[in-house]
Structure 1
Amino acid sequence: MAAPTTAGHASLDLGLIGNGSVAALVDARARVTWGCIPAFDGDPAFCALLSPRAGGGDYAIELEDFESAEQAYIKNTAVLRTVLRDRHGGAVEITDFMPRWHQHDRFYRPVMLVRRLRPLSGRPRIRVVLRPLADYGAEVPEQTWGSNHIRYLLPGFTLRLTSDVPVRQVRESLPFELDGERHLVLGPDETLTESVQGFARRAERMTVDYWREWVRYLSIPLEWQEAVIRSAITLKLCQYEETGAIVAAITTSIPEAPHSERNWDYRYCWLRDSAFVVRALNRLGATRTMEGYLRYVLNLATGDDGTLQPLYGIAYEDRLEEHAMPALAGYRGMGPVRRGNLAWIQKQHDVYGSVVLAATQLFFDQRLERPGDVAAFARLEPLGEHAWALHDQPDAGIWEFRGRAEVHTYSSVMCWAACDRLARIAAHLGLAQRAVHWRERADAMREATLERAWDEELGHFVESAEGRRLDASLLLLAELGFIDPRDPRFVATVEAIGTQLRRGTSLFRYIAADDFGEPETSFTICSFWYIDALAAIGRVDEARQQFESLLARRNHLGLLSEDLAFDDGEAWGNFPQTYSHVGVVMTAMRLSRPWSDAA
C-alpha cells in the first residue's frame, strides 16, 4: 500500500466545501486537511494543514499505486469531485460535499461531511484513513464503534461515521478493492433513518440542486462568469448562517510570507471585511447575506459607551484572547499557530463606516421583504456620532498596526462615509432635519480630511496626517465616493501607487517596515483595488490585462488566499480569503462588457 498522502511540500491547492454551518478544506488528492468542529471557529479536528506534531488530523481516501489526480467542482455548486488514478489503469471517483437544502421552511445544514466513492475503471485498491484530533492537535479522541458506525468522542461534540464500508477496514485503515459504490457520512452522533446509500445519494442530489438554484439567480456579468460564480459561492460559504457573521477566512496561521511569523487567526468576523463581502454579494443580487449580517451587527453587544470593536466572534464573542497552540507546528512547520486575535482590542475607526455602508442598501432595495425604516435608521445614528467624534483621531488603521497609531486617511474617509450615507438615508426616509444634520457633518469631515491627507510637496494623497507614505487603501477614495475618479489629485495618487507599490501585476499594501519588518508578498485585494482604480481613471485596457493576469494566479479550483509571492505567484496567507474573492467579483462587474454585447 502506498504511504499516506502527506506530501513533503504542502501548498494551498485546496478546495473548499461547506454549508453555512461548517467548512473543510480538501487537497488535490481528496484528503481533508482542515476542518473545525462544530463551527468555523471550533477545535480543528482536521488540522493536518498545520502539521500536528503527533501526526494525523486528516481524512483521506488513499489509492494504492497512485499515479495522478484530477479535481473540479461540479459546475455551479460547492460539491467537489476528485478522480485518483493508479499505475494499472484503475481509477476511483470521490465526491465530497456538506449537505444543504431547503427543508421545513428553513435550511438543512448539519455539521456533516458526505463522501461518495465510485470505481471508474480497473480494480482500484483503496484505504480509508480517518484520524481526527482534539485540543488543537494535542489529543487523539477516544473511539467507540458499532456494526456500521464509529464514534469519535471530541470534547463537546461526538462525531459519528456511518458507512457501508466495513467498520474494521476504516478503524484499522485496511486496504480493500473498491468493487462498487461506497458511502461515508461523518456527522452528529445520530442514527440515520434510511440506508447510508439512500441518504448519501439523496443528499448529494438535493445539495447540487440547491447550489444550482442559488447560482441561477445571481446577476453575474457577461465576462468572467466562471470566476465570479466560484467567488460568489466561496463568499457564501464563509457566512456562519446561525448568527449571520462572516469570517475573514476559514483558516488560522497560514503565514503571509515564509517564516515571517505573520500568522493570524482569521476565523472571526471583521466588520470591515464583512462589509466588503456584503457589498459584493449585493452587486450580484444575493441580498440574504446582507440581511443575515445586519442581524448579526444589530445583535452585537457593544461596549458600555456604544463603541464597536474591529472584530467579534461568530457567536458575538467580544474577547478573542490570542494564544499559541504548541501541538501544531504550523503550515510547513512555520509556526506559531495562533488561536484568537489581539486585533479585538485595537481602535480601528473605519469600522463605523463599514457597518453603515453595509446597511445602506437595506433602505433603497425594494426587493427586500423587510426594508430599512426609521427605526433601523435610528439604530445606525449612534455609529455616525462615533464616526464624527473619531474621524480626526489616531487609530491602528485598516492594516492593524500593532506598534503605531496615526490619523489614517482611510479611517477618516470611512468615518466621512458613515455620515454621508446617513444623510442620504435620512433624505430617502423624508427626515429632512436629520439629513441636514448629517450632510453638514459629512461636508465638514470631507473638507478637513482632504486638507490633511493631501501632500502638496509629494503631489499625492498620503496614508496618514502625520506621514508621507503611500498605502493601497488610498485607491478606494473614488470607489467610496469621497473624490471624483478624474480629479487630478486621485489620478496622481493612483499613478504614484503604481510606481511605488506595484511589482508586475501585483501590489504591496504598503512598503514601510511595520512591527514584523518589511512586507514580502502582495496583498491580493490591493491588486484588485489598483485594477479598479486604473479603470476608473480611464486606463481600461491596462486594467483588463492586469485582471486577466491576476485571475490566472488562482489555484486549480479558482480559489485565492490572502497573499501572493511576487516571484513565482505562490499563495500565502489564510485561505480562502474573502477579501480576495470580493476583488474578483467587484472587478469583473466593473470591467465586463455589457450583456447587450452578447445579443
Structure 2
Amino acid sequence: MSSLELGLIGNSRTCALIDRQASIVWWCYPYFDGDPICCSLLQNEEQAQRHGQVAVQLEGATSSEQYYERNSAILVTRFRDEAGNGIEVLDFAPRFHQHGRTFAPAMLVRIVRRLSGRPRIMLKVRPAIDYGTERASIRCGANHISYHGSGQSLRLTTDASISSVMDERPFFLHESITLLMGPDETVDGSAHDVGRSFYEKTLSYWHHWVRNLHIPFEWQDVVIRAAITLKLNAFEDTGAIVAAVTTSIPEAPNSQRNWDYRFCWLRDAYFVVNALNSLGATTTMEHYLDYILNIIADTRDAPLQPVYGIRREAELHESVAPALAGYRGMGPVRVGNLAYFQVQNDVFGEAILASTQAFFDTRLERPAGKHMFADLERLGEQAIRSYNVPDAGLWELRGTKRVHTFSSMMCWAACHRLGCIARKLGLTDREQYWFGHAETIHREICDKAWNPELGSFVATFGGDQLDASLLLMAEFQFLDANDPRFAATVETIEKHLRRGEFLLRYDEEDDFGRPETAFLVCTLWWILALAQMGHKERAREQFAHVLTKCNHLGLLSEDVATDTGEQWGNFPQTYSMVGLIQCAARLSIRWDKAYNS
C-alpha cells in the first residue's frame, strides 16, 4: 500500500520520490510538470507490476533504513538480508557548478554498493508513458537502454549487465553498479566514473549551499531539511516555484479533494521566497522576480491569475488520467488545475510582498529600482479595484464567491508595501498615494470583517465563519500582535477550529462537504501567532508536537488526520515546510544567548 514515507531528490530541474524500499515511485520527466514515467505512487498493485517504477531489490531483504547524506539532497537506502548480506543505494539528481554555470540536467543517478557479504540483487526499470497508460518501448545498446514514448526519450546508461536489466534477472553484486537515467544522449565517460564524479560534486554543492544558510540555534536539522526541500521545488529555468511535486494525493481519504499541485501559485511562492530570504538564500527570490515580472509583462493590464505553469503557461486545463487508479485507489488523478481561471484577489499582495526585499537588500546583484516599482504599481492599482470584490479566496472555493477578509488584507498589504518602497525610492507623492489607499482599505476591513457577536475578525465581510488565515494578521503587520482584537481573533479561531493539537482551515460546508483533515500550515500559523503574543512556551510545545508528524526524513505533506496523525495531501508541501522554518526561527534560543548558564 502506498504511503508518504518517501524521500525527495532533485536539482531544481527534475525531482523524484523514493520509498523505503528504494523504489522510485514518482518521477515526472523531464521536468516537474511532465509525464510521470515513474507513477506507482498513484497506481494499484496490478498496475504497478506492469510499469511505472524503477526499483532495486535485495533478495531476501529483512531490514532497511533510509536517510539523507548530511546537509544534502542525496538519499541513502540500506538493506540487509537474513545472512547479513547488505547493500546501499545512493539516489540523487546532479547539481553543481561547472564552466561558470550551474549544471543540473534532467537526470537521476543511482549508485548501488555492496556493504557486506555476497548480496544478490535485481533491477527493475519499467518507465510508463501517457500517465500510466502503457510501458515505454525499448531499444538496447552496448551499455545503455533507451525508453521511448509520447515524444520523450529516456536513456539508462549503466555498468550493470544489460541483459540482467532487460530480463530482470537477479545477480550477485560484487562491488558497485551505477545507473545514469536521463536524456537520450551519449555519456562522456564510464557510468562508474561519471556517477562517482557527479556524486562528489553534488555533495560538495549542497554542503556549500547549506553552509551559507543563516539558521537558528535550535532545530537546525529541521530547518536545513526544509530549506533544501524548498530549493528542490524551485524550477530554476524560469524561476517558478511549485506548490508540491505531486498530483492528486487526497486531502482526506475518499474525499475527491485531489488536485494537481505541480504549478506555481503566486501565494505559495511568496511564502517560499520569504522563508528562504530569512535564511539568507536570496537567489531563489531573484529568479522568482524574473518569473513574476515576465508574467506581469505577459498579462499587461489583464487580471493576475492565482497560478501559472512553470514556463508561465496561463491555461492549465484540468483533465483526469484514467489509467491511474489514484493514491491507495482513491482517484481521480487530475492533470492541470482549474484554479487558473478563478478570481483570487490576494495575489496582488503576494506578488508585491515577494518583490519588496529586492528594493531594500543591498547584497543583491540586481537591486530593484523605479522600473520595477512602476511594474508593481500596476498590480497595486488592481488591488485598489479588487479589495472589496467577491472572489474564491485563498482556499479556492469553486462554488461560491464572497469578499474574503484575507484577500482584502493582502490588497492592503500590496498598497502598504508600495508605500514603503516609494519612501525608499524618495517618491513622496507615490508614498502618500499608496499609504492613503492602504489606510482606506484598513478601515473598511476593520469595519466590515469584525463580528461583534463573536468578538473576532471573520472569514468574509459581514460573515460569521472563522478562517485560519486570519492568524497572519500580525505577521503581515495589519494588526499589532498586542492588539486586543488580534488576541480575541486567535482565541476564537482556536476555540472553533482546533481539533486535538491541530487546526482546520475552516469548518463550514464547501464544494466537497466539510473538511476532514487539518491543513498543517494553519497549525504552524497558530504557533507563530502564539509566539507573537508572548506565549512562547506554549508555542514551543505545539511545535514539538507538529514535528512528531514529520516522516522519517523530516518531510511534511499538506494535511494531517487529526485522529491518527497520518499525513495526507500532496507531498512534500512547500507551505508546510515554510511553516517549519518560520516557527523554528521564531521560537529558537538566540545564538548569542545559547551558551548562557
TM-score class normalised by the smaller sequence? over 0.9
Aligned residues: 591
Question: Are 1:423 and 2:400 counterparts?
Answer: no
- In the aligned structure 2, how far is the partner of 1:243 from the partner of 1:442? 32
- In the aligned structure 1, how far is the partner of 2:88 from the partner of 2:495? 48
Q: Residue 19 of structure 1 corresponds to which residue in structure 2?
A: 11
Map 1:239-318 onto structure 2 (within 5 A). 239-300=234-295, 302-303=298-299, 305-318=301-314
Q: Shift of residue 456 of structure 1?
A: 1.0
- In the aligned structure 2, how far is the partner of 1:368 from the partner of 1:305? 29
Q: TM-score, normalised by structure 1?
A: 0.98
Structure 1 range deviating more: 176-185 or 348-357: 176-185
- Contact in 2 for aligned 1:306/1:382 (Cα 8 Å): no
Q: Residue 479 of structure 1 corresponds to which residue in structure 2?
A: 475
- Contact in 2 for aligned 1:54/1:138 (Cα 8 Å): no
Q: Residue 87 of structure 2 corresponds to which residue in structure 1?
A: 92
Q: Residue 338 of structure 1 corresponds to which residue in structure 2?
A: 334
Question: Are 1:30 and 2:22 counterparts?
Answer: yes
- In the aligned structure 2, how far is the partner of 1:332 from the partner of 1:580? 23
Per-residue Cα deviation, 1:482-525 (whole angstroms, up to 9, x for no partner): 00111111100101111111122211011111100011101000
Q: Shift of residue 154 of structure 1?
A: 2.9
Structure 2 segments unaligned to the other structure (5+ residues): none
Q: 1:399 aligns with which of 388, 395, 405?
A: 395
- In the aligned structure 2, how far is the partner of 1:111 from the partner of 1:460? 50
- Contact in 2 for aligned 1:302/1:308 (Cα 8 Å): no
Q: Residue 360 of structure 1 corresponds to which residue in structure 2?
A: 356
Q: 1:524 aligns with which of 520, 525, 542?
A: 520
Per-residue Cα deviation, 1:119-168 (whole angstroms, up to 9, x for no partner): 11121111000110000000211100111100001322211101110101
Give the share of equivalent positions with the same residue, in percent. Answer: 55
Question: Are 1:504 and 2:500 counterparts?
Answer: yes
Q: Shift of residue 302 of structure 1?
A: 4.3
- 1:304/1:370 CA distance change after superposition, 3 Å: closer
Structure 1 segments unaligned to the other structure (5+ residues): 1-8
- In the aligned structure 2, how far is the partner of 1:303 from the partner of 1:197? 48
Q: Shift of residue 106 of structure 1?
A: 1.2
- In the aligned structure 2, how far is the partner of 1:240 from the partner of 1:62? 32
* Code of the aligned partner of 1:587: C
Q: Residue 132 of structure 1 corresponds to which residue in structure 2?
A: 127
Across the aligned residues of Structure 1 and Structure 2, the Cα RMSD in angstroms comes to 0.9
Map 1:150-229 onto structure 2 (within 5 A). 150-229=145-224
- In the aligned structure 2, how far is the partner of 1:574 from the partner of 1:76? 24
Structure 1 range deviating more: 366-375 or 47-56: 47-56
Question: Are 1:147 and 2:139 counterparts?
Answer: no
User: Which aligned segments of 4 or more residues in structure 1 are displaced greater than 6 angstroms?
Assistant: none
- In the aligned structure 2, how far is the partner of 1:447 from the partner of 1:339? 41
Task: Provide the secondary structure at the position in 1 that maps to 2:182.
Answer: strand
Q: Shift of residue 304 of structure 1?
A: 5.8
Question: Are 1:389 and 2:381 counterparts?
Answer: no
Question: Are 1:44 and 2:36 counterparts?
Answer: yes
Question: Are 1:70 and 2:65 counterparts?
Answer: yes
- In the aligned structure 2, how far is the partner of 1:535 from the partner of 1:554? 21
Q: Residue 234 of structure 1 corresponds to which residue in structure 2?
A: 229
Task: Provide the secondary structure at the position in 1 that maps to 2:129.
Answer: coil
Q: TM-score, normalised by structure 2?
A: 0.98
* Code of the aligned partner of 2:453: E
- In the aligned structure 1, how far is the partner of 2:54 from the partner of 2:331? 23
- In the aligned structure 2, how far is the partner of 1:273 from the partner of 1:518? 23
Q: 1:411 aligns with which of 407, 411, 434?
A: 407
- In the aligned structure 1, how far is the partner of 2:371 from the partner of 2:353? 17
Task: Provide the secondary structure at the position in 1 that maps to 2:441.
Answer: helix
Per-residue Cα deviation, 1:398-453 (whole angstroms, up to 9, x for no partner): 10000111100000000000000000000000011110110111111101111111
Question: Are 1:467 and 2:463 counterparts?
Answer: yes
- In the aligned structure 1, how far is the partner of 2:506 from the partner of 2:112? 47
- In the aligned structure 2, how far is the partner of 1:41 from the partner of 1:30? 23
- Contact in 2 for aligned 1:262/1:516 (Cα 8 Å): yes
